[in-house]
Amino acid sequence: MKCFHYFKDRSRSRLQKSAPILNNQSKTDTSEAQRVIKSSCSATSPRSIPELYEEKAQNLRVFTFSELKQATNNFSRLLKIGEGGFGSVYKGGIKPVEGKGDPIVVAIKKLNRDGYQGHKQWVAEVHFLGVVEHPNLVKLIGYCAVDGERGIQRLLVYEYMPNKSLEDHLFHKDYPPLSWDSRLQIVLGAAEGLAYLHEELEIQVIYRDFKSSNVLLDDKFKAKLSDFGLAREGPKAGHSHVSTAVVGTYGYAAPDYIETGHLTSKSDVWSFGVVLYEILTGRRSLERDRPKSEQKLLEWVKQYPAESRKFGMIIDSRLENQYSISAARKIAKLADSCLVKSAKDRPRMSKVVETLKQIVVQVAAAESPPMKYADGAEDEENEHPVKGVGASESAKRRMAHLAKISEHIGGVSRRRFMIMHRAKVT
């Protein structure tokens, strides 16, 4: 899906030649950077992202253009692993800092030369990823900034994520379907990344572009948020929101943000709710090739409430019934709470994380995972795992109990009684 931008920023500033651009901003950038909040985890006046960046800038490597050109075999098409409105991403190998040892495999993003706006987002990404540090955020290794006769060159070097994105595995048939457990772990990791940005830093960071394509997966399918070009600092103390031009991706942006331009952390919460329904249904937030009544995911799922018997009809068929219907209902209810119209009534991401952890624990504690259901529309109190061979220990105990009871059943033979009840316990 393409990003949208309702209002163009008309301000312009003179670009500088290399790395020092990271420490200088236009008047517009400066005013935006000062919009901070007093985080619940900070007792002192919070500093801005550029101020925090000055402390940690030395942790990033500054690459020459020739280094990255060599690392990607002159940006070979054979090494291209991604492409979007921002430019292209290549797989490459860079030398270790000390210059010894095997090359380090990395992902190198080369921005299109589209002038000021691209440069502005590149600066934002360096600033934010240069400051944040969390297991569920992609790591920025370094950058390259060169202005030459052939124009500007803006590149970013990240840790390599071999399993691509959540979007790839949910919607592209070339990839094997994600298991139920994997989906839960991925959305939990993504939620923890957002909670860190919203509530655990000296300042609040609003991600502003949460979607399945920005949730990358490492070699163990651990989720990491990427692409911070649209990230913003939250409102400063005493303010309820940040007023900004509306940018983001159709189908994921909160309606209150689109209508008013008022950005808050609850804008990210809405986007997270959309992705929760994507992992349940295996459908994109917007699919133009479906019947009109099914094109918009959030409108379609309203026809199948979490408590209804027909709820199971929306679950991704690629799961092949290998999931917990009770957990799926809870995920849908959590998504609904993230998608309420009033932004202030949506939960904080820390609460979302807490709920997801409870769901994951409940699934893990199930007697016979994975759970398989005949049609996905059973009542929760009648749910029982179906095993390919034999009955579960619980079922065996219940069979023995029923056999004992049947000795006292009058008017019905023991054999008939057992046949009547066998289907309920196997």
User: Which residues does the annotation place in the binding site for ATP?
Assistant: 110
The secondary structure of residue 43, as a DSSP letter, is S
Per the annotation, binding residues are 110
DSSP H or E segment with residue 155 = strand 151-159
**CA proximity to 268, closest of 333, 190, 153, 155:** 190
Facing residues of 144 across strands?
Answer: 155
Tokens representing residue 341 in the block: 């119209």
Pick the catalytic residue: 102, 147, 181, 209? 209
**H-type helices in 22-172, by residue range?**
27-33, 49-56, 65-71, 116-131, 166-171
**Exposure pattern of 221-241 as b/e (b: 16+ CB <10 Å)?**
bebbbbbbbbbbbbbbeeeeb
The secondary structure of residue 308, as a DSSP letter, is S
Burial status of residue 304 (CB atoms within 10 A of its CB: 0-12, 13-18, 19 or more):
middle
Name residue, tokens 């016979």: 368
268 given a catalytic annotation? no
* CA pair distance 132, 59, nearest whole angstrom: 12
* CA pair distance 213, 19, nearest whole angstrom: 29
The C-alpha angle with vertex 349 and arms to 345 and 353, in degrees rounded to 5, equals: 125
Tokens representing residue 390 in the block: 């034999």
**CA proximity to 131, closest of 233, 218, 222, 216:** 233
Helices and strands in the chain, H and E counts: 13, 14
Cis status of the peptide bond prior to 46, with omega within 30 of 0: no
**Per this entry, what is the length of the chain?**
426
What amino acid positions are annotated as catalytic residues? 209
